Chains A and B, each alone.
Chain A
Amino acid sequence: MLAFGKYLDRTRKHSATKMVGNVQGIQAPDFELVSLDGRKVKLSDYRGKAVLLNFWATWCPPCKIEMPWFVDLQNRYAKDGLVVLGVAMDDSEPGKISEFAHEMGVNYPVLLGTDQVSDDYGDVQYLPTTFYIDREGRIVAKAAGLFDRKQVEDDVKKALSGRNSLASGSDQTAQVAPEKKKEAVR
């Protein structure tokens, strides 16, 4: 896997330049990744569901803050069609990632990230980064960095409702909304 390990020495390529900048309304790139339990998982397997696609790593303390929120959202909104997918961008062995996810009480699939999926999603280097994808596979919101729980839940609702983000969605980097960030950790 060595998702981020390769970042150390190579020149980054940007195979999906359309994923740079405002990505709302763009079709989320499909992928096939291996889950911690060894299954091959495609994003397109979840067409018809709203997907919260969270890029994270075991070495990322802010990522830990969101995980209990995602667990709760998965519990509350699964019946409405929400699927949470975690993509671990670690160099760690799957066993270590699994141990971490278990400690965090993660109840959703964790997939092993690759450089390709990072590239496809606009060179994800700022963790956590989360994409909210509607039932038709369109990105309705993107959050780079840690935001407050209310923002996360609002974006989940947008994904579930299929509201096109061009009007109402968000595409933000965390420091743009420092007040919300503070609210998140109280």
Chain B
Amino acid sequence: MKLPLSAVLAILLAGFAGGQNPGNQQPSVIMAPVGQVQLRAGASTNVEMAFRIGEGFHINSSKPHSDFLIPTQLKLSVPAQVTLADVKYPAGKDESFPFSPNEQLSVYTGDFSIDAVLKTPAQATLGVYPVKGELTYQACDKAACYPPKTLPVQFQVMIVKK
């Protein structure tokens, strides 16, 4: 049985107290494990990566409304057998916060997912390959902001016959 991503995150977060004491606690973003991704030679596949932001915090979306704000970005390093065709970010939610009620910020809160589209040529060598990368984000709570952070991301891709 495959658990939904939200359930996986819920299990991972049992006891996670992110955001209960903003200002005294660093913001946290965690990622649900990605199982081994199967990719048929000559085809493409969509890899969904699910993240959860600690309660009480928000992070900028991938397209914040100001050039001064730091966007959420996923960078992946793929093996030579694989091409990263696209990275699909969710749309941010426009929200205003107590520190600036007249300004709308494009943010993620709670759970969000980023999709990576992987492709491989028909003549790719079959096998299992690591994909590594990092998610860069910058979080704030309702009164202050924290320095940008990175979260390591990794999973495996298994290239199989067509």
Assuming the contacts A128-B144, A173-B24, asked whether A181 and B100 have C-beta atoms less than 8 A apart, the reply is: no
Q: Is B145 interfacial (CB-CB < 8 Å)?
A: yes
User: Considering the chains assembled together, what is the distance between the CA atoms of A62 and B58 in angstroms?
Assistant: 13
User: Considering the chains assembled together, what is the distance between the CA atoms of A175 and B23 in angstroms?
Assistant: 7
Contact with B along A44-61 (1 / 0, CB 8 A): 000000000000011111
A residues less than 8 Å from B15 (CB atoms): none
Chain A interface size range: 20 to 34
Q: Is B94 interfacial (CB-CB < 8 Å)?
A: no
Q: Are B147 and A125 in contact (CB under 8 A)?
A: yes
The prevalent SS among residues of B at the interface is: loop
The total of interchain contacts (Cβ-Cβ below 8 angstroms) comes to: 88
Identify which of B21, B22, B103, B147 gathers the most chain A CB atoms within 10 Å of its CB. Answer: B147
A residues less than 8 Å from B24 (CB atoms): 173
Identify which of A89, A144, A145 gathers the most chain B CB atoms within 10 Å of its CB. Answer: A145
B residues less than 8 Å from A58 (CB atoms): 68
Some 13 contacts from A to B, beta carbons below 8 A apart, are: A7-B147, A57-B147, A58-B68, A59-B145, A61-B99, A62-B144, A65-B100, A125-B147, A126-B146, A144-B144, A173-B23, A175-B141, A181-B98
Report which A residues bind B (CB closer than 8 A): 4-5, 7-9, 57-65, 89, 91-92, 96, 100, 125-129, 144-146, 173-175, 181-182, 184-185
